Amino acid sequence: MAKSTLRKSLSHPGLLKAVRKEFEAIPETKPTAAISLTDHLMSGLAVFSLKCPSLLQFDNDRNTDITRHNLRSLYGIERAPCDTYLRERLDTVEPRVLRKAFKKAFSLLQRGKGLEGFTCLDGHYLLSVDGTGYFSSNRVHCAHCCEKHHRDGHTSYYHQLLGAVLVHPGHREVFPLAPEPILKDDGASKNDCERNAAKRLLTDLRREHPHLKLIVVEDSLASNGPHIRLLQDLNLRFILGAKQSDHQYLFQWVNSSKQTQSYAYTDESGTHQRFRFLNGVPLNDASHDLEVNFIEYWETSTSGKIQHFAWVTDLTLKTTSLMPLMRAGRARWRVENETYNTLKNQGYHFEHNFGHGYKHLSTVIAYLMMLAFLLDQIQQRCCGLFQRAMKKEKRHLYFWQRVRALFLNCLIANWQALYQNIAEGIQPQSVPYFDTS
């Protein structure tokens, strides 16, 4: 399907309608309240969809005739709560119940053929898994904060999130699946760790997507026996970083084997690429029976700059698979560059403290932000009108500023009218009411 065609299910109204339906299925946490849980969740989503810098800003904005109208026409919100109520209610929401909204958006993307051209290495999707911190304080904390006890006696509190993002070496867009928080469980004395979170994340993911052909790409911390056995148990392929300092046994084996092969190539730009590889190498002394395939890569630019990478994988290595495998391994960085950096620096305010809460607020906010980002990424890849509107504003931040300015100042009938206005460069004061009907 041509990229410029508007696919209804993959444009903002279709996606928001589907997400709203999933929110409506979540049991009410406060059945007698005047404002529904769905309106609270949709308001939380709208905060990040509209790139509001704070919940207080959303509170200040929500009560004009224009914004009340627009929250209803664009997000289906009957009544938006004040920031205090919004924090209080979101704090009661168990974050796991939001997983279904991610799954729904992903299945729409898949069914709408939005993932065409996103596979590599025999029809697999690449799933980059990596953690990031998004909250740290010496004072503010909740029941689930991880704790760090410092030598001078003070304690710092922090939250981290493990993200799982579909990436492709040839595409800028990334598609996050439901993330997994790295937290302290109720009553637990020890902090959670990234490895435990990865186990929960990958097990849930496999249950929700039992047939998805996936290659997990991770850094060298994941190249350990227990984690690789988990990946094998879950029928997940892998390309994992390998560092000589952490895998001396593996590197010595490769150095001394007579079967180790080399391959070199200089492309038309003059960049020199060199590989060496070996199938069936024991991972380490402790996991001698666990065999992996080893690939090492050096890239020398015309200026003489050398980049070096090494990975272990369960994909069989042969000369023809080296290039795509190297590109797939390097696409791991997209979870950092295209996901976390975008969330931190491109309008979503990932590291801003939107409120911490006592139970779940901090995690629910991170989930809603990631969900808003997923819907934006789907539009960016699949909605021609969105692409035209974004192109008009040239930079993502300018585009979001324009969306917010129109949201605050003009009555907007629907998303199509909003994006059309931006794409066609109509000044807001000349069209106080946008309607395409």
Binding site for Zn ion (CB under 5 A): 142, 145
- Which distant-in-sequence residues (6+ apart) come within 8 Å of 101 by Cβ? 19, 22, 23, 371
94 or 122: CB nearest Zn ion: 94
| Min CB(194)–Zn ion separation in Å | 17
Dig out the tokens for 86 from the structure: 């919004």
Q: Which is nearer to Zn ion, 284 or 363 (CB)?
A: 363
Q: Which is closer to Zn ion, CB of 145 or CB of 382?
A: 145
Strands 171-176 and 155-168: antiparallel
Determine the straight-line distance between the first and last CA of the chain, rounded to whole angstroms.
25
CB closer to Zn ion out of 141 and 381: 141
Q: In the complex with Zn ion, which residue's Cβ is closer, 35 or 366?
A: 366
The distance of Cα 302 from the centroid of its chain, to the nearest Å, equals 35
CB closer to Zn ion, 121 vs 370 = 370
Residues counted in the chain: 437
Residue 145 or 164: which CB sits closer to Zn ion? 145
The rounded distance, in Å, linking the Cα atoms of 413 and 433 is: 7
CB atoms under 10 Å from CB of 18, counted, come to: 16
Phi, psi of 181 (to 5 degrees): -75, 145
- Closest separation in Å from C-beta 145 to Zn ion: 3
Least distance to Zn ion from the beta carbon of 355, Å?
A: 11
Where do we find the tokens 């097990």? Answer: 203
DSSP string, 386-400: HHHHHHHH-SHHHHH
Place of tokens 């901090």: 362
Q: Which two tokens stand for residue 129?
A: 């898994």
Q: Which amino acid is at 171?
A: H
Please, what is the minimum distance in Å from the beta carbon of residue 258 to Zn ion? 55
Least distance (Å) between residue 191 CB and Zn ion = 12
Q: Which of 44, 106, 77, 37 is nearest to 362 (CA)?
A: 44
Tell me how far, at minimum, the Cβ of 363 lies from Zn ion, in Å: 8
At its nearest, how many Å lie between Zn ion and the CB of residue 159? 5
Question: Cβ of 215: how many Cβ atoms within 10 Å?
Answer: 25
Q: How far apart are CA 192 and CA 160, in angstroms?
A: 10
Tally of CB atoms within 10 A around 207:
9
When the beta carbons of 55 and 77 are compared against Zn ion, the nearer one is 55
Question: Taking the complex as a whole, how short is the minimal distance between the CB of residue 133 and Zn ion, in angstroms?
Answer: 12
